Homo-oligomer: A and B are copies of this chain.
Amino acid sequence: MAISVETFFLDPNAQGTLQSKIQQMIAQGILSGRFSKGEKLPSSRRLARHLGVSRITVTLAYTELLANDYLEARDRSGYYVSENAPEPPQFAPQPPGQDMVDWSRAIGRRFTGGATPEKPQNWSSYRYPFIYGQVDASLFDHANWRLCALQALGQKDFQALTTDYYDQDDPKLIEFIARHTLPRRGILAQPDEILITMGAQNALWLTAQVLLTQRRMAVAEDPCYPALRDILTQTRCHLTAVSVDGDGLPPEALPDHADVIFTTPSHQCPTNATMPLTRRKALLKKARDMDALIVEDDYEFEISFLGAPSPALKSLDTDGRVIYVGSFSKSIFPGLRLGYLVGSKQFIREARALRASVLRHPPGHIQRTASYFLSLGHYDSLIRRMGQVFARRRAVMEEALAASGLSVAGRGVFGGSSIWMRAPEGVDMQLAAAKLRDRGVLIEPGAAFFHRDDPPRNFYRLAYSSISSDRIAAGVELIANTLKECE
């Protein structure tokens, strides 16, 4: 590869002659590892013109570098970085200068240090990945996704691919969600009541920004999705955590006043509880009485291989009080980053304006690819196939858990992709998880899901969405053995 002439700039602060500045610039590029052995340098004529210096100056610099073995000349074809050039250091080169900024002062708001746990990027190299929320390569319909992406890359969809939509979305995707996805959850919505988001995470974040201020009161479930807690904490609103029971969020335990209630009625995260119809009605009534809004995160409703999912809470909402969050991340793949918000026009309008300010719109190509994948029926087949496999895995898992003596704390009645587990009191699952990791087993410790400063440490989540059936029993046995050591 040739080194582009545009890579070269003379450092206006450098000392010395023009020639020595040029030598320095090239040697530094080699030493820092930016220019690799065998790469071709620009001709002296081009470099001279680019830098605005005389050609002889560049030629002299090249000759000097040749003598020092930084460069080598090849007949008629010019100068190359020498095979004998000094090796760049193994450590990364330091940029010139020192950081003179007092960042502890300069940073006005901090966003690090949240509750969201770090997860291993290399999870697929573990033998027993009971990891949640990743895609199983053996189940994903790669061929058809590829075909849909190809179609969306075609000349006909050129506009959809390349255009700046400003604050708008792909009308095809919106139409599919309105006509096919939402009706399955019992929801009727107009296009201007739907906003495409960068996954459910982004939908929850936008909602929190629009609805919450330092004077507002939010209610979250305890335990709940840790990233939601981070989002709520960052808004600096008042936050009340309400403990869930086997039927999800109990309306009678809500505080007397709240502005926004965040809930996962169909499939509580992480306990998997499903809220019964009577409780849903009571929750809606309570919200109406205190004039609160409800944000319903309807994650994983598609993964319902054990029975039809109950309709969304939003389908019972005649007041426009429920804001609905859906996602394609669990069911297609998380790297897709596509979800949606459904709510009253007034709310969606503000969320849309905020989204435009933050990022304009999710990339058009991704939206169009998803809309093909959905409308051609590949999505439904994928969900069916996932359901069949998850059902088998879940059966194997239930059997293995029963045999192992491990305690289940919550299982989804419709399906889902994980089981919420309880270790004996006194076992710290953070420590157990570290031990298990060394043994090739990935599990998710549960403490991060709780709001309390001193959360119970003996809960954990086991997902079956990315582990094959034939490894489940051995993995569960390893967990059981490790927990015994930790007691």
Bound Cα distance A311, B198 (Å): 34
Interface string of A370-382 (1 = CB under 8 A from B): 0000000000100
Cβ-defined contact, A133 with B363, below 8 A: no
Bound Cα distance A281, B140 (Å): 54
Cβ-defined contact, B162 with A4, below 8 A: no
Which residues on B sit within 8 Å (CB–CB) of A184? Answer: 4, 6-7
Cβ-defined contact, B114 with A137, below 8 A: no
**Which listed residue, B50, B137, B149, B210, touches A111 by the CB 8 Å rule?**
B210
Which residues on B sit within 8 Å (CB–CB) of A213? Answer: 108-109
Which residues on B sit within 8 Å (CB–CB) of A216? Answer: 108
Known: A106-B211, A161-B333. A100 touches B320 (CB 8 A): yes
**Which listed residue, B149, B155, B337, B350, touches A153 by the CB 8 Å rule?**
B149
Within 8 A of B (CB), among A332-358: 333-337, 344, 346-347, 349-351, 353-354, 356-358
A65-73, A185-193, A454-462 - interface stretch: A185-193
Which residues on B sit within 8 Å (CB–CB) of A103? Answer: 344, 346-347
> What residue in chain B is nearest A110 (Cβ atoms)?
B350
Say yes or no: is A253 at the interface (Cβ < 8 Å to chain B): no
Say yes or no: is A306 at the interface (Cβ < 8 Å to chain B): no
Cβ-defined contact, A293 with B344, below 8 A: no
Cβ-defined contact, A50 with B308, below 8 A: yes
Interface string of A248-262 (1 = CB under 8 A from B): 000000000001000
Known: A101-B319, A335-B165. A7 touches B357 (CB 8 A): no
Cβ-defined contact, B320 with A209, below 8 A: no
Say yes or no: is A285 at the interface (Cβ < 8 Å to chain B): no
Bound Cα distance A358, B150 (Å): 29
Which residues on B sit within 8 Å (CB–CB) of A164? Answer: 119, 133-134, 329, 334-335
Within 8 A of B (CB), among A250-305: 259, 277, 281, 288, 291, 293
Say yes or no: is A118 at the interface (Cβ < 8 Å to chain B): yes
Which residues on B sit within 8 Å (CB–CB) of A17? Answer: none
- Residues of A within 8 A of B (CB-CB), count: 123
Say yes or no: is A318 at the interface (Cβ < 8 Å to chain B): yes
Interface string of A90-107 (1 = CB under 8 A from B): 001101111111110011
Number of identical protomers:
2
**Which listed residue, B140, B215, B321, B337, touches A101 by the CB 8 Å rule?**
B321
Interface string of A173-205 (1 = CB under 8 A from B): 000000110011010111000000011011001
Known: A337-B361, A360-B198. A186 touches B9 (CB 8 A): yes
Which residues on B sit within 8 Å (CB–CB) of A74? Answer: none
Cβ-defined contact, B205 with A357, below 8 A: yes
Say yes or no: is A244 at the interface (Cβ < 8 Å to chain B): no
What is the CB-to-nearest-CB distance from A196 to chain B, in angstroms, rounded to a whole number? 12
Cβ-defined contact, B316 with A112, below 8 A: no
Known: A108-B216, A112-B349. A320 touches B97 (CB 8 A): yes
Say yes or no: is A481 at the interface (Cβ < 8 Å to chain B): no
Say yes or no: is A486 at the interface (Cβ < 8 Å to chain B): no
Bound Cα distance A2, B180 (Å): 11
Cβ-defined contact, B183 with A12, below 8 A: no
What is the CB-to-nearest-CB distance from A11 to chain B, in angstroms, rounded to a whole number? 8
Say yes or no: is A53 at the interface (Cβ < 8 Å to chain B): no
Bound Cα distance A179, B93 (Å): 12
Cβ-defined contact, B205 with A359, below 8 A: yes
* Complex A-B, nearest 8 residue pairs according to Cβ-Cβ distance, in ascending order: A97-B318, A164-B334, A99-B320, A162-B333, A198-B359, A100-B319, A103-B346, A111-B353
Q: List 24 A-B pairs, Cβ < 8 Å.
A: A4-B184, A9-B311, A9-B315, A12-B316, A13-B316, A34-B183, A95-B189, A99-B320, A101-B293, A106-B259, A108-B210, A111-B353, A111-B357, A114-B353, A116-B356, A121-B168, A149-B365, A164-B335, A165-B335, A231-B357, A234-B357, A337-B360, A358-B359, A363-B366
Measured CB to CB, the residues of A under 8 A from B are: 4, 6-7, 9, 11-13, 29, 32, 34, 50, 92-93, 95-103, 106-114, 116, 118-119, 121, 124, 133-135, 137, 140, 142, 145-146, 149-150, 153, 155, 158-166, 168, 179-180, 183-184, 186, 188-190, 198-199, 201-202, 205, 209-213, 215-216, 227, 230-231, 234, 259, 277, 281, 288, 291, 293, 308, 311, 315-321, 329, 333-337, 344, 346-347, 349-351, 353-354, 356-366, 380
